[in-house]
Chains A and B, each alone.
Chain A
Amino acid sequence: GQNIDQPTEMTATEGAIVQINCTYQTSGFNGLFWYQQHAGEAPTFLSYNVLDGLEEKGRFSSFLSRSKGYSYLLLKELQMKDSASYLCAVREHTGRRALTFGSGTRLQVQP
Chain B
Amino acid sequence: SAVISQKPSRDICQRGTSLTIQCQVDSQVTMMFWYRQQPGQSLTLIATANQGSEATYESGFVIDKFPISRPNLTFSTLTVSNMSPEDSSIYLCSVEVVGYYGYTFGSGTRLTVV
Contact = CB atoms under 8 A, between A and B. Distances in A.
Interface of A: 31, 33, 41-45, 48, 87, 89, 97-104
Contact of A42 (B41, B45, B102, B108): B108
A43 B101 contact: no
B1 interface: yes
A97 B108 contact: no
Nearest to B33: A98
Contact of A87 (B1, B42, B94, B107): B42
A42 B43 contact: no
Interface of B: 1, 30-31, 33, 41-45, 48, 92, 94, 96, 101-108
A6 to B, nearest CB: 9
15 contacts: A33-B102, A41-B108, A42-B92, A42-B105, A42-B108, A45-B103, A87-B43, A97-B48, A98-B45, A99-B33, A99-B45, A99-B94, A100-B45, A103-B42, A104-B41
A100 B101 CA distance: 15
B107 A101 contact: no
A97 B42 contact: no
B20 to A, nearest CB: 19
Smallest CB-CB A-B distances: 4 pairs? A45-B102, A42-B105, A101-B43, A97-B31
Given A97-B30, A104-B42, A48 B101 contact: yes
Contacts of A98: 31, 33, 45, 48
A38 to B, nearest CB: 12
A98 B33 CA distance: 7
A103 B101 contact: no
A83 B94 CA distance: 23
A33 B103 contact: yes
B107 A43 contact: no
Given A98-B48, A104-B42, A45 B104 contact: yes
Contact of B96 (A44, A89, A97, A104): A97
A87 B108 CA distance: 16
A42 B101 contact: no
Nearest to A43: B105
